Structure formats: structure tokens, C-alpha cells
Amino acid sequence: MNAGSAVARNDALAAARGDIIGFLDADDLWTDRHLASLLPMLADPALDCARGWTRMTALADPGIDLGESYQPILLGAGLYRRSVFDRVGGFEPVLRAGEDLDMAARIGEAGVRIAVTTEIVLVYRRHDRSAVAKAGAVQRGQFDAIRSRLRRGGHA
Amino acid sequence: MSYSGAYRVNEPKVVSETLDGETIAIDLESGSYFSMNPAASVVWNLILDGHPAAAFPAVVAARFDVAPEDAAGDIERFVESLVRDRLVVAAEPRAVAAPVIAAQGRAPYEAPSVERFDDMQELLLADPIHDVTLAGWPHLPPT
């Protein structure tokens, strides 16, 4: 049992030295367009985050096409200025799951300036033993992220 | 209550969890989420367990500092709002036994209430985890 993905992501943020942060989780793939399409977008100093679209497939059979879409929760589908995390804080380790959903919500609330390209920048490979395969765990993550959202308050 | 039957939670489109007296429900089709206070959570869990609506006031009165006849109207309005938001639908009672009337301390009463939030719709709908079938996911336009 490790300390969980929130702690791992915070450790990585602490260790990173660059001004632009990218994430790549186990089993996910950046496409060859990831840096090529997202990095130039951040040349615009008015932007804090660049996101692309995600293609979902199955780890067991990459030929299975589960569609392409905009998945703002998947951290691997974006590049973020380090200043984003200075502003909104790190990942929330007390969450049982859903630290990525929680972060996406906080980034939205903080008014982080985001640009989106429809280019495919991430391949999300689902397999039955991945951390998210159990729908129950994912649902818990959603409940956790929602409770965290309600504690922050300030709904419009 | 005007309706003598029971209700069921509108599964699978609605999922819920009760923690520390607060229930969160998510409408997976709309991405809306709902927060229910302690009295509402008691009623919600009675619905989940398939108890008839007629049993709700006595259970609420046993858990909170309120008379059943005073709670009945609040409960009816609460359930009506659940029906309006399609979180629950009318159904036949399914519970095999009467609800347990707990002999524990009664908490201060606040009328059951549910609050709806739409600020995380995009994120909840986009969560790729929902779509574990080969049908693909909902396509969201970039915003």
C-alpha cells in the first residue's frame, strides 16, 4: 500500500524544477503531439493551462476505440504553469480518490486561464486492474471531491 | 401523506452516499449533485431501503426533536422535491420489515432539505470512469 496518488503528485510537484508541469500516469500515453501542440500555446503569457483531447482505448487491445473527447479531469491531457499549483495549492491527500477531479474543480473555481485544442494529446488505456477499474472507488472519489467542494463553499 | 405507496431511488442514473448524517447524491445524466441535511438523509435512506412513505414521519420523529405530525408536511415537501428532480420515482414498498425506530438521543430538528448544485456538471459528466462500456463517453465540447 503506497501513500496514494495525491501524495505522489505532490512529491513530484516538489521535486520538479521547471516552470511548466506535465503529468503522465502509469498506463497512459502522451501522443507525439502532446508537447508539440500544448507547449506553444503556453507561449501566451495570458494562459495558465493548455489542454488537449483524449483518446480512450483498452490496454488489452489498443484497437478498441472508446472515443475521443475533452477530459478536463485527466491531468495527463494538459500542461500547467507551476504558478497554478502555487495559487490553488497541492493535491488533497485526505481524499480516498478523486484528487484529480478535486484539482480540476479547484482550478476551475480559481479562474485559471485555460486554452483547449482538439488535438489528441493523451491516450488513456483502461484495463481491468487499473486504479479506476472498480467503479465503486471512482464513485467514492466523486463523493469526496463533492464534499470537498461543499466545504469550500462560495457557490454562485 | 397524500401518497400511500413508496419510492425508489432512480438508479442507475442516481448514486448516493451518506456520511456523518449528510447525503450526497449525483445525477449521472445531468452532472448535478445534491446535498441533503440530516433529516433529509434519514428519509433518503428509508427510501433506499424500500420503506413505505407512511413510515417516514415516525422514524424522523424518533431521531429528531419533532412530533411526527409536525414533521409530516416537511417530509412530504422534501419528497416532492426529490420527485421533481427525478432523484426518486414512485414504487411499490419493498422493505420486508418495519423500519427500526432507534431509541437513541434525539437531535435538534431542522426540516429535511436538499440543495442542488450544477457547478461541477462538466467535470462529473466528463469523468471517463462512468463509461466503462464500449459505448464510448459523452462528448463534451471544449469550453
Q: Which residues in chain B have their CB less than 8 angstroms from residue A72's CB?
A: 122-123, 126
* Contact at CB, A155 and B119, closer than 8 angstroms: yes
Residue A138 · residue A44 · CB < 8 Å: no
Contact at CB, B143 and A116, closer than 8 angstroms: yes
pLDDT at B1 over 70: no
Residue B44 confidence (pLDDT) = 98
Distance CA A67, CA A57 (A): 8
A54 vs B: CB within 8 A:
yes
> Is the pLDDT at A22 greater than 80, yes or no?
yes
pLDDT above 90: residue A156: no
- First CA to last CA distance, chain B: 45
Is B10's pLDDT higher than 80?
yes
pLDDT of the residue at B135: 35
A108: amino acid identity, one letter: G
| Contact criterion met (CB < 8 Å) for A126 and B122 | no
ipTM of the complex: 0.82
Nearest C-alpha neighbor of A110 from the set A57, A49, A68, A63: A49
Q: What is the distance between the alpha carbons of residues A42 and A64, in angstroms, rounded to a whole number? A: 32
CB contact under 8 A, B17 and A66: no
* pLDDT tier for residue A97 given thresholds of 50, 70 and 90: confident
- Grid coordinates of A151: 466545504
pLDDT at A128: 59
Whether residue B27 is contained in a domain is answered as: yes
Q: Count contacts between A and B (CB, < 8 Å).
A: 84
Q: How confident is the model at residue B30 (pLDDT cuts 50, 70, 90)?
A: very high
What are the pLDDT digits (tens) for A108-148? 999 999 999 999 999 998 765 554 555 666 788 899 999 99
Higher pLDDT, B25 or A129: B25
Q: Smallest CA–CA separation between B20 and chain A, in Å?
A: 11
Give the number of domains in chain B.
1
Domain with B23 in it: 6-99+107-118
Q: How many residues does chain B have?
A: 143
- In this predicted structure, what is the pLDDT of residue B51? 94
* Across A95-110, average pLDDT: 90
What does the pLDDT read at residue A80?
A: 98
Q: Is the pLDDT of residue A96 over 60?
A: yes
Would you state the pLDDT for residue A135?
A: 62
Q: With an 8 Å Cβ cutoff, is B15 touching chain A?
A: yes
For an interface test with A, which of B14, B35, B117, B129 has the most A Cβ atoms less than 10 Å from its Cβ?
B129
Confidence (pLDDT) at B93: 83
**Percent of chain B, pLDDT > 70?**
84
In a domain, B138, yes or no: no
Hey, what amino acid is at A61?
D
B123 to A126: CB separation less than 8 angstroms, yes or no: no
pLDDT tens digits for range B61-79: 999 999 999 999 999 999 9
Q: Band of the pLDDT at B130, cuts 50, 70, 90? A: very low
Task: Indicate the length of chain A as a whole number.
Answer: 156
CA distance A21 to A80: 5
**Domains in chain A and their CATH numbers?**
5-152 (3.90.550.10)
A116–B35 C-beta distance less than 8 A: no
Q: Which residue has the higher pLDDT, A94 or A31?
A: A31
CB contact (8 A) between residue B26 and residue A143: yes
